Structure 1
Amino acid sequence: MTSTQEAHDDVDPDIRRFVVALNHGYGQFSDFAALPLPERRAAAEVVRAPWRAGGPAMAETRDGTLAGCRARFHYPGTSRTPRSALLYVHGGGWTMFSIDTHDRLMREYAARAGVVVVGIDYSLSPEARFPVALDEVVAAYRQLRGEAAAHGIAAERIAVGGDSAGANLAVAMSLRLRALGEPLPAALLLNYGAFDPAPTPSYARYDGPAYMLTIAEMDQFWRDYAGEPATLDDPLVVPARADLTGLPPAFVTIPECDILADANRAMAERLHAAGVAVEACIYPGATHSFLEAVSVSPLSDAAFEDAARWLAAVLGHAPA
């Protein structure tokens, strides 16, 4: 039995099915890791397609642009009054994935929290290294605020969130805006974020494809995004190095069986120590990317419900 097939007792059985299915999907491509990056991106879109299918139907979905990037607007219902919104920044190690791979995640948040969810396809590394993606996310947030009325959105009730690299960009965007004295998001939704490249005990404990994300992959992601090693000294690249004072209220989703678990616990603790209102939820048996398993996993379903209740409350309306 290979490591990708091994049944780990600490992983939730439904999440394990998801991980095994993805590993099998990638295994259909000859030496996936050695493929040129454009081919790996295309393969990832195919492998993840079944997991973005289904889920909540939207009253309206619009494709457009924000800050010159492809964007998608999901409206869970009709309303005559401006609504709360979530600007969602997809994960993928700054190098992979898109608003297509993350479409179901966005629709789940829209339906459950009763918010307009806006996804952005920022430029990927290593072709566009730091700070390109960060600049684009900052510009997209500014544009969304400036054009909020045209989109049926309340400018003062826009949260920003993301998973993995997307959570990193959400925090870094807030740090950039704070430094410039510009309006911050109303809230931060941080799903298993890439906040610190330093190895921790969870790195060693949960390394390997059986837990979705490997140390080697994560190290390469950081290299592709940062470029020069000295760039990792910048707190806009590594939010674990930042002063977090004054950031918006945050919800931190922490899968127990993730190499990034310790870094996410530390981020939640540092946010709390900085006086930020933070709610951190640890999900036993969950791996990195487990939210994508919502079609088969009650654990993922519960995590969406937890975040949706929090998001609706912090944005000041009842959940859907």
Structure 2
Amino acid sequence: MTQDARVAGAPRPASRARERLALPRPSAKATATGIAVAILRHVAPGLLVRIAGRATDGGIPPFVDLLRIAELAGTLPSTDPSSSPTGILARFPQLADVATRDVVIAGPHGPVRARTYRPPHPSGIGLVWVHGGAFISGDLDRPDAHWPALELAHRGVAVVSVDYRHAVRGVHHPVPSDDVLAGWRWAAAHAAELGVARGALHLGGSSVGASLAAGVAKRVRDSGIPETTPAGLVLVTPFLHSSAAPWPADLLARMRASTRSAVFSPDDLTHLAWNYAGRRSVLDDPYAFPANGDLAGLPPTLVITEEIDTIRTSGEDFASRLRAAGVPAVVRMTPGAAHSSMSRPAEPTAQVTLDAVAEHLLGRWSPQA
């Protein structure tokens, strides 16, 4: 049948195909790795961590391969046993004074897991925190979820760490955002019993968790429902755009040569965004990618970037546009750090990043500075 012979208004397969964001095919090695990870997760998790740690010494696979592994295995394996919850307490025994409790929150797509961290000496400040993981991995035990929450609570900040569904096996925006919004609303409703003073509950996250946090802040701003507005945003190494800025190949090579940690290519970041969006129209959505649309009326914002990180331009641009919209915003860069240093608590740069967050929340410097 020709295009002219179609019934007016009938769905057009070509249009649907153009709307769907198709990623490159993963490698056969990624499929084999995903199957192996799925098996080892259940029969030899300790061996899996050691194997994954050695594998990352040669750099991380392309995003589409990571996605394939995560879809087959359910998550991406940890690469550092010292960054497990047990390992963190062994390294930082003073953090054992923080009381934690796992909670389950009702969300629109089912239960949302969260964990509260109660300070031994509360300051009245609170933070809802969201972990990273490229939208496809991570949980409440992930180092950039558990370690910052323990550290901040030890210093007096009550923390609610919120998990979310991964963008795998057909899950796309807004499902992870909906989970984080449910976590925010729960924390706001329970702020007083968590020891958080009125108007002192902040929202933030690490990497794509920071993107989810910023998107939820925009949803809260635009909801028209009387609910607590975040006192501030804390965005650590955020990726807030639907595509990545280009990087010269020689500079990208020098960055990769200077660290054993992940340095994402612009193509990988774009594929990450496409996978989260699922559909072409979502790339312009201001809640899926918070750099889109109006930024006026958002809370005062701290953006932390890291030097050896292609994602840093996203945070820098977002902060600049916040200031242009009249929102107080500051960028602080951690020198010598690779992306998501808080996922690697043993690194000195992780402590520098963590200290900047703590100083901001506890009021030792002003985002208006």
* Range class of TM-score, shorter chain: 0.7 to 0.9
Which structure's relative contact order is higher, taking Cα pairs within 8 Å and 6+ residues apart? 1
Query: SS state of the match for residue 291, structure 2?
Result: helix
| TM-superposed deviation, 1:70 | 1.0
1: CA distance, partners of 2:341 / 2:207: 11
Q: Which has the larger radius of gyration?
A: 2
Q: Which amino acid aligns with 2:330?
A: E
One-letter identity of the residue aligned with 1:47: T
Aligned with residue 37 of structure 1, among 70, 74, 87: 70
Match for residue 229 of structure 1?
280
CA contact (8 A) 1:58 1:107 kept: no
**CA–CA separation in structure 2 for the residues paired with 1:248 and 1:33:** 34
Q: Residue 206 in 1 paired to residue 245 in 2?
A: no
The 8 Å contact of residues 149 and 155 in structure 1, kept in 2 or not, is answered as yes
Alignment RMSD (CA, Å): 2.8
* Conserved 8 A contact 2:241-2:289: yes
Kept in 1, the 8 Å contact 2:163–2:179? The answer is no
Give the 3 Å change call, closer, same or farther, for CA 189–228 of structure 1 in structure 2: same
> Is contact 1:66–1:144 with CA below 8 Å preserved after alignment?
no
For 2:326 and 2:121, the matched residues in 1 are separated by: 37
Distance change (3 Å), C-alpha of 1:166 and 1:313: same
Are residues 120 and 247 of structure 1, via their aligned partners in 2, closer, same or farther at CA, if it must alter by over 3 Å? Answer: same
Cross-structure match for 2:101 = 62
Report what 1:291 is aligned to. 342
- Report the CA distance shift for 1:186/1:291 in structure 2 as closer, same or farther (over 3 A): same
TM-score by length of 1: 0.81
Segment of structure 1 superposing worse, 306-315 or 132-141: 306-315
For 2:124 and 2:67, the matched residues in 1 are separated by: 45
| Correspondent of 1:117 among 129, 154, 159 | 159
Change (3 A) 1:142 1:315: farther
Q: Distance in 1 between matches of 2:205 and 2:103?
A: 19
Shift of 1:247: 0.7
2:180 equivalent in structure 1? 137
User: 1:66 offset after TM fit, Å?
Assistant: 2.5
CA distance in 2, matches of 1:231, 1:57: 43
> Structure 2: which 5+ runs fail to align?
1-50
Q: Secondary structure at the match of 2:317?
A: helix
With over 3 angstroms needed to count, the CA separation of the structure-2 counterparts of 1:282 and 1:296, relative to structure 1, is closer
- Residues 44-193 of structure 1: pairs in structure 2 closer than 5 A: 44=77, 46-52=78-84, 53-54=87-88, 55=92, 56-67=95-106, 68-78=111-121, 83-101=124-142, 102-112=145-155, 114-127=156-169, 128-181=171-224, 182=226, 183-193=228-238
Distance in structure 2 (CA, Å) of the matches to 1:203 and 1:151: 47
For these two proteins, the number of residue pairs brought into alignment is 289
Structure 1 match to 2:357 = 307
- Greater CA drift, 152-161 or 265-274: 152-161
Q: CA deviation at 1:248?
A: 0.7
Unaligned runs of 5+ in 1: 1-20
Check conservation: 1:58, 1:74, Cα contact below 8 A. no
CA contact (8 A) 1:211 1:257 kept: no
